[in-house]
Homo-oligomer: A and B are copies of this chain.
């Protein structure tokens, strides 16, 4: 399950990268600074676009690290442009590419925690299914929603990417 779902996360991050390209094209067409996107948000008290992309990346990265024990690259959350955000996606994809199925062999029974849980822990299995996967798709889809809300020409196929049809 872990390897399959991480492969899907990688695919979704590659799709996310194409949305940022579409956002830049849309800004050029409409005549505004594409990097304004980083500050867009759907509600005053919801994270802005840049943070949504950062957390989508971090959720995949930290899940891989917590479920394998392999150190992940650090990111400073200092992206200033769509190009910077694309660089972060690339960095996370490179890290995820370094994770093998063997690395994930003991994932289900790992003990996972994070600072905001104040000492509480979850099994790797519960953490992945209840926290990492839902959060990953949450921040991915919120990013997509901000882009659609501002008129970027992306659609459902850009979200899902190519499907593995048979025959």
Q: Which residues of A contact B (CB under 8 A)?
A: 1, 4-5, 8, 11-12, 42-43, 46, 111, 117, 120-123, 125-126, 129-131, 133-135, 137-138, 141-142, 144-145, 148-149, 151, 156, 159-161, 163-167
Give the oligomeric copy count.
2
Q: How far is the CA of A167 from the CA of B117 in the complex (A)?
A: 13
Contact assessment for B122 and A165 in the assembled complex, using a CB-CB cutoff below 8 Å: yes
Contact assessment for B131 and A160 in the assembled complex, using a CB-CB cutoff below 8 Å: yes
Residues of B within 8 Å of A138, CB to CB, are 137, 141, 144, 156, 159
CB distance from A47 to the nearest CB of B (A): 10
Residues of B within 8 Å of A149, CB to CB, are 42-43, 149
CB distance from A158 to the nearest CB of B (A): 11
